[in-house]
Amino acid sequence: MPHSSAANAEILLSQALAGSSECFGRLLHVYRNYLKLLVVSQMERKLQRRVSPSDVVQETFLEANRDFHQFRGTSSGEFCAWLRRILVNNLHRVVEKHVLAAKRDVRREVSLENIAANLEQSTARLEAILPDGGTSPSGNAERHEMEIALADHLAELSVDYRDVIVLRHIECLSFEAVGQRMERSAGAARMLWLRAIQALRERMED
């Protein structure tokens, strides 16, 4: 079943476009966990200790509120894509400030295009966790709602459960690599993943 807040996104968007600031605030809240999950998938763990993914999402919301008059879409899918573009710019600024500044001698560059491509890849991998909903307009809309619901369910899991699912399914790491990231053996990482997937399925079936 699609998550109720995600299913209401179209209504909230139409009311926000009509001038309701309250509905716009509620609309942004629908996408909070979804955007945070994308940020977590793009930021290295060391960087997350210096910059909170929640702060990146909050900055994205502030800019969305400031620039909402420039939004030209009419659907929640278009609005979500617009938010992702703002998020990409904010991620790029974070990388420039905290990563590239520390490596000026290397003269390494991370382009906006690379960050955008990586984020879209993470979005596609998030979609891959979901059952196939078809490619019709109604199927795409329902799939969009399910992506938001999935992010909400992941946010309700324990940190270890959420991390192992992100590392395994969105970053596509082997169990050995997951274990190294989480300071566990490959076998322990696999057992943790199995428990995490079971917990996620139970939440999504409720």
> 188: which residues sit within 8 A by CB, 6+ positions away?
179
pLDDT in single tens digits along all 206 residues of the chain:
345 566 688 999 999 999 999 999 999 999 999 999 888 888 777 777 788 899 999 999 999 999 999 999 999 989 999 999 999 889 888 877 776 555 544 344 456 566 666 666 666 666 666 655 555 555 566 777 888 888 898 999 999 999 999 888 888 889 999 999 999 999 999 999 999 999 988 888 87
Residue 2's pLDDT is what? 44
Same domain, 145 and 121: yes
Q: What is the pLDDT of residue 96?
A: 78
Considering only CA atoms, which of 10, 18, 132 is closest in space to residue 80?
Answer: 10
pLDDT in tens, 61-73: 999 999 999 999 9
Regarding whether 98 and 85 lie in a shared domain, the answer is yes
Cα–Cα distance for residue pair 96/107, rounded to 1 Å: 11
Nearest to 151 by CA among 84, 200, 80: 200
Domain CATH code at residue 169: 1.10.10.10
Q: Are residues 58 and 123 in the same domain?
A: yes
Domain CATH number, residue 118: 1.10.1740.10
* Residue 145 sits in the same domain as residue 188: no
Q: What's the rounded Cα separation, in Å, for the pair 59 and 92? A: 13
Q: Which domain holds residue 182?
A: 158-206
Can you say whether residue 172 is alpha, beta or left, with left for phi > 0 and alpha for psi between -120 and 50 degrees? left
Regarding whether 152 and 52 lie in a shared domain, the answer is yes
Per the structure, how many domains does the chain have?
Answer: 2
pTM for the whole structure: 0.76
The CA distance from 132 to 127, in Å, is 9
CB contact set of 119 (below 8 Å; sequence gap of 6+): 38, 41, 42, 84, 87, 88, 91
**Quick one: which H or E segment has residue 176?**
helix 175-182
